[in-house]
A and B are shown apart, each in its own frame.
Chain A
């Protein structure tokens, strides 16, 4: 028998043991040091701002930006004609790339916009010698034609659709060409560069909200050289005019930006609100910006790791995850001792939104039975809802106009049905049963999400309404199915619905109840001739007291018809470490991930280093 069996001699045995030990030590070392491989900010002379994003960044092409985190980060690289004043409230638009506010013709259809002459694109290989060139009016026209180009498949075409003269015809023209083959020098009647620094926009109909639209990231100028040079790769590049230049974008991990050394002379605002003086927000008035050299946005999708990084001082600004609210804020809505000890500060602001329980007004059961809608409305414990599901981060809603809007009616609660009253609810239910002609059958309550938050919201409403003796069935749908069901008019009660204003004009909220927007955004399919008449009149009106009066009148009409039980307006809570200076949140950039305001922030590196030492 010559079969060779492996024999474990003593030396072999030792070798195997050593090998196993070696791999064990290597594995342990890898495991222990894996946490250290993440990008840690080096301690250099540069002022580094540590930001975070709760979602992956989709694109850096302004024409394609369609989500909040991408929008807020992109704002540091791209600028628009107009933007929010950093400090003034109510929110006010001020020129950013425009030299001044637009000159509007009497008929409200023509806008002449002068453009700043000192703006340059970022230095980039797409330009001759790699030096960014001067911004001109044609860059805006090119960017908007790109949005219109059907082959670019921009998510933002809806903004300009049917608004600018000749732009829809340009879109039709692009249908006949391959991607990148359409001739962008083809004139569009409504978009003209009167000279290099003057832009004329001619509208099909008056559109007073245009100034707000011109603050959208999608309307940011695009250099033709960049689009031609990078082709499809433009979505990974950020050749803008902003205060920061994209240095690195590691998808799913982080985005890094460095200060634009050739940024035009821009200064910290000299005007603000009276309270800004006490808050020290005007201490840097008139100083050149940006103050910070480098920004890193870590992509941390889960709440808990983001929260821990914030507590470690590795993220400078953070929102409060729902489940850590108790750790950060005590019952009196002030910071907890732990947070105070860490030098963490809190800012709150009312968000321009409203959340409601919508009733499908075309549903035979709910639409024709106001007492039934009233009964459901009276059964909702709004205070408990805000407390349990939003940690008290909200105020009960009486109407649909958010208190963040200038047109908010402070006396709205006098005309409101939005309060908990089970006795009234039961009386209304009896009336509802009489109208229906018997006991109310099972009602379906749908929400457009399947995660815990949506499930809990639905269960809370279900629980409240069941108190009346009504039977409620929950339907959890993913968002596309929810929209499809809404379009097909298959929903009864729409839970967890909300509307967030895109810009500080109350017209935004009125869209939700305009009959021609039925199914979406008018998810309740509410139709009122009187409301429609006011909306059609008011949306073309410039800002004036009469417009405010009409907005409030429209709100009362909706409140009386009750197509929705208004539940709450959310309050934004944002935490930041005390080494961040000049921080003032903007409700329209509520993630506070930048939003184009990072250039105003200051940072005390020594304070941060001391924190790292203390809270290792």
Chain B
């Protein structure tokens, strides 16, 4: 009996160690729902990248790039056949998957294009909020004292203002301004507004984590070996809280997409190009005349992406946070 126990002990000891990430990914792979959500996210991301590339390279054959093309009569119902005269004068019977809008443009193409707007905004806003929130939180948590007081004061002040109102105020202020030679309009103003207002949460989180970890053995060891504060923060502490940033980001991404939709709905978002918020705003007024397809298409697109991001974010948290691991 004793012999067997000692053999087991030896086996466990020689098992190769797994990093937090490798372990997290292994656990994630065991969750089919999370993987489906991941695939959906990849599809959306891929679509956005494709649209971006198509626009940049001027790929004429990519149909999503022609979201502004008139493909049928105004307010054509989904799947209903209609006769359409092509540019060469010949007639053809067509069907539009998600119908057409008031100008006769394809709702399907506009919905697909909306992915680019939403993901661009969410991504840029995330990067800006991270760029501000993470270093500030880390510095405040590490140094404490007056730096911490100052950062906390800014955090608390911004936190007292309702989020959407704050974004709207920033969006209104930033619109049509030229900052460092960059003319802010459309979605540029939107993601800047979001990024500049949404760093509070991540900053508070990182500050808390750094306070918790700054007395850890590995930090003390680094300090004992003469590492500078900058090195301790950016090479030792931050990599150890990086998984928290990722989890937080995956959940916030949804919030950014929703905020973009709200801003576009309020007329503060994209002006020239399709966005889901702008589509919902247009469709809201058209519902009464039984034009339901534009609303349905945009909300379905948002719903699917939000659901995938939320489920994936939850799964990621479960897999990466040691306290929440279930298997």
Contacts and interface: CB of A to CB of B under 8 A. Distances in A.
A304 B288 contact: yes
Contacts of A452: 281-282, 284-285
Interface string B274-309: 000010011011111100000000000000000000
A322 B285 contact: yes
Given A455-B282, A459-B103, A475 B288 contact: no
B288 A456 contact: no
A323 B266 CA distance: 19
Interface stretch (A28-36, A96-104, A292-300, A476-484): A476-484
A475 B281 contact: no
Contacts of A450: 266-268
Contact of A460 (B103, B272, B287): B103
A229 B286 CA distance: 50
Most chain A C-beta atoms within 10 Å of own C-beta, residue among B74, B103, B284: B103
A326 interface: yes
Interface in A269-316: 303-304, 307
B271 interface: yes
A460 B101 CA distance: 12
Contact of B70 (A325, A463, A476, A478): A463
Contact of B271 (A322, A451, A463, A475): A475
Nearest to A456: B102
Contacts of A456: 102, 282
Contacts of B287: 323
A456 B284 CA distance: 13
A406 interface: no
Contacts of A474: 271-272
A453 B285 CA distance: 9
B176 A481 contact: yes
Contacts of B266: 450
A473 B102 CA distance: 19
Interface in A55-105: none
Chain B interface bracket (under 10, 10 to 19, 20 to 34, 35 or more): 20 to 34
Contact of B288 (A321, A453, A478): A321
Contact of B289 (A324, A389, A463, A477): A324
Interface residues of A, number: 30
B251 interface: no
A210 interface: no
A455 B271 contact: yes
A348 to B, nearest CB: 20
Given A456-B102, A476-B267, A451 B281 contact: yes
Contacts of B172: 478
A388 interface: yes
A474 B269 CA distance: 13
B271 A388 contact: no
Contacts of B175: 481
B272 A323 contact: no
Contacts of A455: 267, 271, 278, 281-282
Contact of B103 (A325, A327, A463): A463
Contacts of B74: 388
Nearest to B278: A455
Nearest to B175: A481
A323 B289 contact: yes
B271 A476 contact: yes
Most chain A C-beta atoms within 10 Å of own C-beta, residue among B185, B281, B287, B289: B289
Contacts of B271: 455, 474-476
Interface string B133-163: 0000000000000000000000000000000
Contacts of A307: 288
B176 A323 contact: no
Contact of A324 (B70, B267, B268, B288): B288
A482 B172 CA distance: 13
B190 to A, nearest CB: 13
Contact of B285 (A323, A463, A475): A323
A469 to B, nearest CB: 14
22 contacts: A303-B288, A321-B288, A323-B287, A323-B289, A388-B74, A388-B102, A450-B266, A451-B267, A452-B282, A454-B267, A455-B281, A455-B282, A456-B102, A459-B103, A460-B103, A463-B68, A463-B103, A475-B185, A476-B267, A476-B271, A478-B172, A481-B175
Given A303-B288, A327-B288, A481-B175, 10 more contacts: A324-B289, A325-B289, A388-B74, A388-B102, A455-B282, A456-B102, A460-B103, A475-B271, A476-B271, A478-B172
